[in-house]
Amino acid sequence: MTVRRWKCVCAYDGTTFAGWQSQAGGVAIQDVIEVRLAQIFKTAIRVHGSGRTDAGVHAHGQVFHFDAAWAHAPAKLFAALRAELPPAIQIKSLRAVADDFHSRFGAKGKRYDYHVHLGDADPFTRPYCWQLFRPLDVSAMQAAAALLRGSHDFRAFTALNGPERVDTVRDLRRLDVVKRGRRLVITAESTGFLYKMVRSLVGVLVAVGEGRLALADVQALIDQAKRVPAVQTAPPQGLFLTKVFY
């Protein structure tokens, strides 16, 4: 049998997982999928994701690939992979792709949505949003988002300890703040994100909405490219990886 490369899109509720990527000290989504693939193929199969999501972060459109020989129709592999996964993980699609496809290195960009709920959310919404009980100036948040869009050094918006050892310039091609009733949806899209960058962007936008930061403070964060205590990292449960672009 010929070994083929398989591309999958999956969704998951990250509440009880230690993030996407395998690591010591917790069960990751990658671990669960690899266990199921090992059951199907009777050998260890390594999964390569488009990128990490942190503990508690969710996904509608995480992409991963793996290499394996499969003698049956792709639909049977799709059904087999879906069959024994826990309810918190769903394989949305599976197809054979070219051998040079890579879920991480081939990605051209990612889109994240962050959900903020104004006031007390119901039990079905609460686990998947950041509840805020203070009024927000949405217009000010939208003005701050406009400042942040574009190509900047986002060193102030990464949560790595110590100096960043990689290039911290990113092209934030989309940052929108949309109010839908009592929910705010903050959408961020870029060719790439730094560690906890989206949650830091959300934290700054919320601080602007609460009046704790002014637009001049946001501009200073961009210009000075230095992390300061005023940059709060939003909690993970409101964040969703929505789409990976290729």
The mean predicted confidence, pLDDT, of the chain is 95
Are the CB atoms for 197 and 157 separated by under 8 Å?
A: yes
Least confident stretch, 21-25, 71-75, 110-114: 21-25
pTM: 0.94
Residue 113 shares a structural domain with residue 233: yes
According to the model, what pLDDT value does residue 25 have? 77
Residue 85 shares a structural domain with residue 171: no
**Is the pLDDT score of 162 beyond 70?**
no
Residue 201 shares a structural domain with residue 232: yes
- Whether 103 is in a domain gets the answer no
Boundary residue ending a domain (45, 75, 97): 97
**Is the pLDDT score of 163 beyond 90?**
no
**Is the pLDDT score of 107 beyond 80?**
yes
Domain ranges, residue 158: 109-245
Is residue 100 among the annotated active site residues?
Answer: no
- Whether 104 is in a domain gets the answer no
Boundary residue ending a domain (97, 123, 154): 97
Q: How confident is the model at residue 161 (pLDDT cuts 50, 70, 90)?
A: low
Q: How many percent of the chain have pLDDT more than 70?
A: 98
Residue 238 shares a structural domain with residue 125: yes
Boundary residue ending a domain (63, 97, 131): 97
Which residue in the list 54, 113, 171, 223 is annotated as catalytic? 54
Span 52-81, pLDDT tens digits: 999 999 999 999 999 999 999 999 999 999
- For residue 36, how many other CB atoms are within 10 A of its CB? 21
Residue 36 shares a structural domain with residue 64: yes
Query: How far is the C-alpha of 240 from the C-alpha of 82, rounded, in Å?
Result: 21
Count of structural domains within the chain = 2
Beta bridge partners of 94: 8
Residue 40 shares a structural domain with residue 81: yes
Beta bridge partners of 170: 152
